[in-house]
Chain A
């Protein structure tokens, strides 16, 4: 790490020599120690996106191309107009590094951060979702420890703030053993004018700058630089870089902020997250084209003797900066007083475009406001890893087990089994909006009270697919989350993503990132889905085991359902109804659960995405919805179609008689047909009188649809018409292992 000399002392900074020279040139002097610290955090990968920016340009401009997008990437959260005067804000972010070191507070403060981002858009946070990734739980106490405390951290923090956690995703894979991934997403709902009233910039000279919330302490100093490095044996020593959350204060901040915005006197709003005050002030003034004169001695600190360096870089949680119109100062402060929230008027904005910070009588910071937020991008080298060819060439071994045995093993796999152990700990009902609750459907569905409108949201990606082909893996992940909201009856409206990758300085790691971004950008453009926000987390690898995570571009989709009668749920409803398989099944077992669970294989041919086919399938489904022909819908995901059918049988204790005769040609093996994870497929339940008509409609849309069987009231699923032989399996036995896998593993 380069060093800079300040007053004869050497200071370590995470800046390149080139950046150091540029900074000196820009200021025409040597920065003070506090200024160096500010440049250090603001130029960190976490704050500056310096490695990712050249690729993020691939996404089309959402605000320009979609009239319902009110705020796109670059803001604290994406915002879309959902009609009836309402807007929806949402964002997803990572808190991987802190959680790998301190799972409880790491995950909790992740939730805290994402809530503040939504609050910054002036709307009430109404739902949380958490995509999580760990090493396999079996016989691994470290993974169990991370899993247990990450979930507890999310539960304790989220539950206390009164925001329901309505869904998420958990994936287990060896590559996440040392680097667990904790991604957090939040959705906010408000009136469009609430959003318009409080942008995250200070564009008017003469306004007051107010800090409100928790006190500023020594916790979390350099959290962002810590998050912009790979983990090492020494990372345990970085534990002080992990912040401590206080959900009660957060709840007060939410209420005080929303009430303050209602006064009409709040002109700008910015949360203190990564980079603390340095980041908040430079972005408020830098983006707003103003400057400010800040009196640091006004800041309420947690312990005596904190110097200006520590105060400007502290990432203490639960703090917000308000830009308040001069005439409304007292009224806003009265709101803070009502909620007994500590606050301080730090100074006023001016037209100097310079950020000045005084520590008593010493000027410690004197920088052009935009200097900090303009870190130069870095063009990284990218190279396709040579090991991929060998992986892609792996063949599925000859069947060594009976098919029913395989199915029992798959349903009990950590990646497929029920995640009830997780969501029971989350309050997923507070807010009285949760209509389709955790475990009941492919996506969480919320109502917008006062309208007949519903929001469906889903998060996820398949990292095993991305590992083999990041371009199609990212696209496939998108198809999957879109399919989730579509299965609930919604139309996908917008996407945000959270890119979790390894060290961008390694060309192989950067290639995965570059390919995944290209995949997402192409798919969204082709399918007309705006990308309204994103977050990038690099350096998810550790130097102890020398492994990087499997590429995980986690995506979140929100969709809208108009009318309660149009919500579709996952469980099969009635015996005698027909089961239809929608979409083509291909020999795509690469990265499948089947390969991983039965053969411990990572390779093979992963699913590919053809937008034209996906589009046709979606249009076909919407046509069926239009005519109320779909009784239940579940998209086919991990484990393939047979697992999907079983999951749909569980809730209403139904069985099925499946006949696959004529459903696939001889080019496919039985196991390929049953367990392939080809994307964009669905299983739907329809009335037996409608199935003929639906098959006709499918021809018109050029979509492959097969009638694969009939529901019954038996407690088993019988399978006929395979090439090898017929078999039968017990739904109750499957449900039992589906339900007990995680509780049994976690009973320690």
Chain B
């Protein structure tokens, strides 16, 4: 039986088709990926879901806040509780923090400007459904494209102790320097997970770095996210 993954489309999502493309044409093997309009989404049909990037509801009011109140998040909450994997990319991450699936908040970039560029991030936690095929300390080539990606949390210590930091922006040799931090995130944080590890939020775009042709380094690091997720689901259901 093939694995069913939902890509949830909010009004204003714009990386939905890109994510679907990667699932269908790059990962492909044994998965059925489906685009679902946010208020048509029913969790029972799916083994996992992805909240894609974009500007849900125009990011009016505050990034992700309106989408966080969509019925889709009520459905997703059921998935969250029974351990099915959920990943939020960019705007999806913002939605997941607003809906309190994930701790912390994403604030305006330090430069107060939108930034689109390729960055590097270091893998900090391989004990998640999205990173178990990676190694601790691996350096991932991946692009960012956001205006509000500065990660902030009140209780950083707790986040560290619970090993919820999954990715941190780094330089060429894996150091967490200020120069390597594109947006002023606390501790160079690029991605975090929940306590139970089945929900990941990440600001950079794995769907834009899953094919060598798109990468200035000819790498395909983004693929690992989706492959890990698929393997996790397979293992879980067997």
Residues in A with CB closer than 8 Å to B145 are 159, 427, 429-430
Binary interface encoding of chain B residues 23-60 relative to chain A, with 1 for a CB under 8 A from any of its CBs, else 0: 00100000000000100000000000000011101111
Supposing A159-B55, A247-B58, A435-B214 touch, asked if A429 and B143 sit within 8 A by C-beta, the answer is yes
Supposing A252-B12, A437-B216 touch, asked if A424 and B57 sit within 8 A by C-beta, the answer is no
Interface size on A, residues (CB 8 A): 32
Residues in B with CB closer than 8 Å to A497 are none
Binary interface encoding of chain A residues 337-368 relative to chain B, with 1 for a CB under 8 A from any of its CBs, else 0: 01110000000000000000000000000000
Residues in B with CB closer than 8 Å to A449 are 21, 25
Binary interface encoding of chain A residues 625-649 relative to chain B, with 1 for a CB under 8 A from any of its CBs, else 0: 0000000000000000000000000
Supposing A159-B55, A449-B21 touch, asked if A432 and B208 sit within 8 A by C-beta, the answer is yes
Residues in A with CB closer than 8 Å to B55 are 159-160, 162, 247-248, 251
Residues in A with CB closer than 8 Å to B211 are 432
Does any Cβ of A come within 8 Å of B15's Cβ? Answer: yes
CB of A251 within 8 A of CB of B12, answer yes
Residues in A with CB closer than 8 Å to B113 are 424-425
Does any Cβ of B come within 8 Å of A447's Cβ? Answer: yes
* A246 CA to B143 CA, complexed, in Å: 26
B71-79, B114-122, B126-134 - interface stretch: B114-122
Among A92-148, those with CB < 8 Å from B are none
Binary interface encoding of chain A residues 430-448 relative to chain B, with 1 for a CB under 8 A from any of its CBs, else 0: 1110110100100000010
Among B44-98, those with CB < 8 Å from A are 53-55, 57-60
Residues in B with CB closer than 8 Å to A161 are 14
CB of B57 within 8 A of CB of A248, answer yes
Residues in B with CB closer than 8 Å to A339 are 11
Does any Cβ of A come within 8 Å of B205's Cβ? Answer: yes
Supposing A248-B12, A435-B213, A435-B214 touch, asked if A159 and B114 sit within 8 A by C-beta, the answer is yes
Closest chain B residue to A159 by CB distance?
Answer: B114
* A447 CA to B214 CA, complexed, in Å: 10
Q: Shortest Cβ distance from A51 into chain B, in angstroms?
A: 39
Closest chain A residue to B37 by CB distance?
Answer: A338
Does any Cβ of B come within 8 Å of A594's Cβ? Answer: no
* A339 CA to B12 CA, complexed, in Å: 10
* A286 CA to B86 CA, complexed, in Å: 53
Closest chain B residue to A435 by CB distance?
Answer: B213
Instruction: Choose one: A423, A432, A437; the contact of B18 (CB below 8 Å).
Output: A432
* A164 CA to B57 CA, complexed, in Å: 19
CB of B58 within 8 A of CB of A248, answer yes
CB of A429 within 8 A of CB of B114, answer no
Does any Cβ of B come within 8 Å of A564's Cβ? Answer: yes
CB of A430 within 8 A of CB of B214, answer no
CB of B116 within 8 A of CB of A427, answer yes
Q: Shortest Cβ distance from B63 into chain A, in angstroms?
A: 11
Does any Cβ of B come within 8 Å of A155's Cβ? Answer: yes
Does any Cβ of A come within 8 Å of B207's Cβ? Answer: yes
Closest chain A residue to B17 by CB distance?
Answer: A431
Residues in B with CB closer than 8 Å to A248 are 11-12, 55, 57-60
Supposing A160-B58, A248-B55 touch, asked if A425 and B15 sit within 8 A by C-beta, the answer is no
Binary interface encoding of chain A residues 320-350 relative to chain B, with 1 for a CB under 8 A from any of its CBs, else 0: 0000000000000000001110000000000
Closest chain A residue to B208 by CB distance?
Answer: A429
* A429 CA to B205 CA, complexed, in Å: 10
Among B207-224, those with CB < 8 Å from A are 207-208, 211, 213-214, 216
Residues in A with CB closer than 8 Å to B14 are 160-162, 251, 430
CB of B214 within 8 A of CB of A160, answer no
Q: Shortest Cβ distance from B65 into chain A, in angstroms?
A: 14
Instruction: Choose one: B59, B60, B115, B213; the contact of A424 (CB below 8 Å).
Output: B115
CB of B214 within 8 A of CB of A432, answer yes
Does any Cβ of B come within 8 Å of A428's Cβ? Answer: yes
- B-side binding surface: helix, strand, loop or mixed? mixed
Does any Cβ of B come within 8 Å of A90's Cβ? Answer: no
* A338 CA to B211 CA, complexed, in Å: 33
Q: Shortest Cβ distance from B142 into chain A, in angstroms?
A: 11
Q: Shortest Cβ distance from A604 into chain B, in angstroms?
A: 39
Instruction: Choose one: A338, A424, A440; the contact of B116 (CB below 8 Å).
Output: A424
Among A556-612, those with CB < 8 Å from B are 564
* A281 CA to B14 CA, complexed, in Å: 31
* A577 CA to B55 CA, complexed, in Å: 46
Binary interface encoding of chain A residues 413-429 relative to chain B, with 1 for a CB under 8 A from any of its CBs, else 0: 00000000001111111
* A738 CA to B171 CA, complexed, in Å: 23
* A636 CA to B117 CA, complexed, in Å: 27
Among B121-161, those with CB < 8 Å from A are 143, 145, 147
Residues in B with CB closer than 8 Å to A432 are 18, 21-22, 207-208, 211, 214
Closest chain A residue to B18 by CB distance?
Answer: A432
Closest chain A residue to B143 by CB distance?
Answer: A429
Residues in B with CB closer than 8 Å to A424 are 113-117
Q: Shortest Cβ distance from A413 into chain B, in angstroms?
A: 24
Q: Shortest Cβ distance from A435 into chain B, in angstroms?
A: 6
Residues in B with CB closer than 8 Å to A430 are 14-15, 18, 53, 145, 208
Closest chain B residue to A160 by CB distance?
Answer: B55
Closest chain A residue to B16 by CB distance?
Answer: A162
* A20 CA to B57 CA, complexed, in Å: 47
Q: Shortest Cβ distance from B232 into chain A, in angstroms?
A: 24
Q: Shortest Cβ distance from B141 into chain A, in angstroms?
A: 13
Q: Shortest Cβ distance from B119 into chain A, in angstroms?
A: 12
* A321 CA to B22 CA, complexed, in Å: 34
Instruction: Choose one: B11, B117, B208; the contact of A252 (CB below 8 Å).
Output: B11
* A252 CA to B11 CA, complexed, in Å: 7
Residues in B with CB closer than 8 Å to A155 are 114
Q: Shortest Cβ distance from A308 into chain B, in angstroms?
A: 31
Residues in B with CB closer than 8 Å to A426 are 114, 116
Q: Shortest Cβ distance from A605 into chain B, in angstroms?
A: 41
Q: Shortest Cβ distance from B122 into chain A, in angstroms?
A: 22
Q: Shortest Cβ distance from B212 into chain A, in angstroms?
A: 10
CB of B59 within 8 A of CB of A160, answer yes
* A620 CA to B107 CA, complexed, in Å: 53
Instruction: Choose one: B18, B22, B213; the contact of A431 (CB below 8 Å).
Output: B18
Q: Shortest Cβ distance from B69 into chain A, in angstroms?
A: 15
Closest chain B residue to A124 by CB distance?
Answer: B17
Among A385-431, those with CB < 8 Å from B are 423-431
* A424 CA to B147 CA, complexed, in Å: 11
* A267 CA to B18 CA, complexed, in Å: 29
Residue of B21, B57, B207 contacting most chain A CB atoms (<10 Å)? B21
Among A233-251, those with CB < 8 Å from B are 246-249, 251
CB of B116 within 8 A of CB of A429, answer yes
Q: Shortest Cβ distance from B146 into chain A, in angstroms?
A: 9
* A391 CA to B17 CA, complexed, in Å: 54
Q: Shortest Cβ distance from A301 into chain B, in angstroms?
A: 22
Residues in A with CB closer than 8 Å to B58 are 160, 246-249, 251
* A355 CA to B199 CA, complexed, in Å: 57
Residues in A with CB closer than 8 Å to B207 are 432
* A429 CA to B22 CA, complexed, in Å: 14
Instruction: Choose one: B37, B116, B147, B213; the contact of A428 (CB below 8 Å).
Output: B116
Among A443-502, those with CB < 8 Å from B are 447, 449
Q: Shortest Cβ distance from B62 into chain A, in angstroms?
A: 14
Among A32-69, those with CB < 8 Å from B are none
Among A534-570, those with CB < 8 Å from B are 564
Closest chain A residue to B54 by CB distance?
Answer: A162
Residues in A with CB closer than 8 Å to B22 are 432
Chain A to chain B: the 9 pairs with minimum beta-carbon distance, closest first = A162-B14, A248-B58, A160-B55, A427-B145, A432-B18, A425-B114, A427-B116, A429-B208, A155-B114
Would you list 15 pairs from A and B whose C-beta atoms are within 8 A, ordered by A residue? A156-B114, A159-B114, A160-B14, A162-B55, A248-B11, A248-B58, A252-B11, A340-B11, A427-B145, A429-B145, A429-B208, A429-B214, A432-B22, A434-B214, A447-B213
Known: A338-B37, A432-B21. 16 other contacts (CB 8 A): A160-B55, A161-B14, A162-B55, A248-B55, A248-B59, A251-B12, A252-B12, A423-B116, A425-B114, A425-B115, A429-B116, A430-B18, A430-B53, A432-B18, A432-B211, A440-B216
